[in-house]
Amino acid sequence: MSATTGSFVWHELHTNDRTKALKFYAALMAWETKDVQMGPGEPYGLCFVNGKDHAGITKSMAPAHVPPHWLPYVAVDDVDVSVAKVQELGGRLLMPAMDIPDVGRFAPVTDPQGAAFALYKDSKVRAAEAGVPALGAFCWEELMTSDPEGAAKFYAGVFGYTVESVDMGPMGTYRILKTGDKQRAGIMMLPGQARQHAHWLAYLHVADVDQATRNAKELGAKVLVNPMDIPKIGRFSVLEDPTGAAIALFKGA
């Protein structure tokens, strides 16, 4: 079966220090890693959770002003058709769609507010989606943006999501993107004092947020948001890894 349109199927860290990043995530998340040569230049770092390839770490080819970042890959039925839809709805194509032999086809794009993600179609059959993500696995996606309402309309238009709005009190409205009953991602307003532009923030599943945050700090990460509870949902923290990429840790209630 093909991955369900709108499901987040891969994460890729684009960083200026691939070796440092690999060591950090291997130590923090107990990921196994393996270098794979993908042509000239530095190899591609594959990361494994429970023996299954789960993420990639690669040398960033982005312009100098673009900081290290995790790029989420979102499943579609047809990459080229989806690129046209992204552009029709105000998004931008960063690189022409291309094939990865024996893997799939992808195209990196941005939404109208500038948050980057990739459209992806597997060339092979994928296993059914897991219920509860394993420890060490990506478990949630959150878009921080200057226009949550506009972004929600864009992603609904591209992926066919429905949007559920939740009142978060002082934090404003939290918009949840859904495929049927399956929650895919959340959308939040960028904090007023934030200097960063719109971006996707990925969450990793850990057994203990406080301990994992302490471990991350000892391994060279910077704590951006100290561990805190989301009532009836869980506990989380936000870090900047030693190479400068933002990542969140999460444990369900």
Helix (H) or strand (E) holding 235: strand 234-240
Our separate counts of H helices and E strands in the chain read 4, 17
CB atoms within 10 A of CB 131: 5
**Are the beta carbons of 29 and 139 closer than 8 angstroms?**
no
Helix (H) or strand (E) holding 144: strand 138-145
Which residues touch 184 (CB under 8 Å, ≥6 apart)?
A: 6, 7, 8, 141, 159, 161, 176, 177, 178
What CATH number belongs to 8-122? Answer: 3.10.180.10
Q: How far apart are CA 176 and CA 190, in angstroms?
A: 16
Q: How far apart are CA 72 and CA 127, in angstroms?
A: 19
**Are the beta carbons of 238 and 244 closer than 8 angstroms?**
no
The backbone region for 118, taken as left when phi is positive above 0, alpha when psi lies in -120 to 50, beta otherwise, is beta
pLDDT, residue 66, reads 87
Identity (one letter) of the amino acid at 28? Answer: L
Which residues lie across from 99 on neighbouring strands? 105
Coil/strand/helix, residue 253: coil
Which residues touch 169 (CB under 8 Å, ≥6 apart)?
A: none
Report the chain (253 residues): mean pLDDT per 10 consecutive residues.
Answer: 83 97 97 89 93 94 89 97 98 95 93 97 72 91 96 98 89 92 95 76 98 98 96 94 97 91
**Are the beta carbons of 132 and 138 closer than 8 angstroms?**
no
Residues of the chain with CATH 3.10.180.10: 8-122, 138-252
Nearest residue to 17 via CA among 220, 237, 204, 206 = 220
**Are the beta carbons of 2 and 75 closer than 8 angstroms?**
yes
What separation in angstroms does the CA of 23 have from each of 17, 140, 177? Answer: 10, 23, 33
pLDDT, residue 194, reads 55
Choices 3.20.20.140, 3.40.50.300, 3.10.180.10, 3.55.40.10: CATH for 138-252 = 3.10.180.10
Q: How far apart are CA 137 and CA 53, in angstroms?
A: 10
Nearest residue to 8 via CA among 193, 162, 150, 203 = 203
pLDDT, residue 1, reads 44
Identity (one letter) of the amino acid at 243? Answer: T
pLDDT, residue 174, reads 94
Q: How far apart are CA 106 and CA 236, in angstroms?
A: 31
pLDDT, residue 192, reads 67
Q: What is the pTM of this model?
A: 0.94
pLDDT, residue 26, reads 97
Task: Return the structure tokens found at 181.
Answer: 């009953």
